[in-house]
Structures are given as C-alpha cells and as structure tokens.
Amino acid sequence: MILAKVERQHQVSPLTLEDLKINESAVPLIQKLKAAGLIVIATTNQPGLSRGYQSRRELDRMHERIRKAFALDDIMVCPHDETDRCPCRKPKPGLLVESGFKWKLDLDRSFVISDKWQDAEAARIVGSTSLLLKSPWVGNVHRDFVMPDLETIVDKIISLQKARRAEAPA
C-alpha cells in the first residue's frame, strides 16, 4: 500500500528512488502503532527482481528510504515470479511466517493492513486479523474488516490490542 501508485486502475510499483513518493499522511499513523508497542513490518511482492526489470540495488535504496520515513522495523520481500512457485509470493503466507519467526511474533495476535485481497488471504492462512482499506483490489476473500481510511484502521488495531491485553492472564 505504501509502495503503490495508481495508473489506469492498476497499481504500479515504482522502479526507482526518483519515482518513489512517500505518503506523508501515513507517517504519524504508523508512529501511533509503534507507540502502542507494535512491531511494524512491510511485506512486498517484487516479481520485477525475478523478471529482471527491477534492480535489487535500486529496490534496496527505495526500501531504506521507506523504512526510515515510516520507522518500520523491517521490510520483507518476495523476489519471485509466479512461475518460481515459491512459498512467499502473496497470497501465500511465507513472508508472514518468516516475519513471525524472525521477530518472534505471535501471528494469531498480529494484524495485516492492506488494500489488496492477497494480503487478506495470507493473513487468513496464518490466523492474523486482516484490515483492508476500501479499494478496487479487495476482492471477495475472507477479511476481518474493510475500512474507509488508514486512520480508522489504526484506531481499530489499537482498540483491539487494548482489549486483548485486558483479557490476557496476568
């Protein structure tokens, strides 16, 4: 979601640092999640790496810029094409599983934010709560919430998180 721009109803990922636009309005919202004690990780399919039109170096530069701008804890990348049949290309849950392992996350107490059905499907498989931003790409797969904007999503996550903490045994 952070990475995408829209061209003729399709989302197009920027290929170079020059093309990258940081959505500044999302920065304080991500900070709110961090302040609530959450670890914030972006996951992204980057088939251009496998197909050869995305340079790894340029992608790393963009990700470094994004990671700093949003104070993300991590960015997890699937570099594969669908023909690679990897376990990490979303809607497969490999990047979530890997994130959970790397950051010792309890995936069934984690949240997935996206504007695409592929992320909701990956979340469903690992038992995470999915919160989709209303968009043309939400599809018909199971998702826990569809909401009009990121601010509403962030507030929802924080209230769900508080409720869970309150019910957790001391």
Residues found near Zn ion in the complex (CB under 5 A): 78, 80, 86, 88-89
Minimum CB distance to Zn ion, residue 86 (Å): 3
Residue 119: which of 150, 144, 85 has the closest Cα?
144
**Which CB atom, from 69 or from 86, has the smaller least distance to Zn ion?**
86
In the complex, what is the shortest distance from the CB of residue 143 to Zn ion, in angstroms, rounded to a whole number?
22
For Zn ion, give the closer residue by CB, 17 or 86: 86
Contacting residues for 170 by C-beta, under 8 A, at least 6 apart: none
Toward Zn ion, which CB reaches closer, 82 or 149? 82
Helix intervals (H) in 24-149: 27-35, 47-51, 56-70, 94-103, 117-126
We find the least distance from the C-beta atom of residue 74 to Zn ion, in angstroms, to be: 16
The span from the first CA to the last CA of the chain, in angstroms, equals 36
CB nearer to Zn ion: pick between 49 and 69: 49
Minimum CB distance to Zn ion, residue 90 (Å) = 9
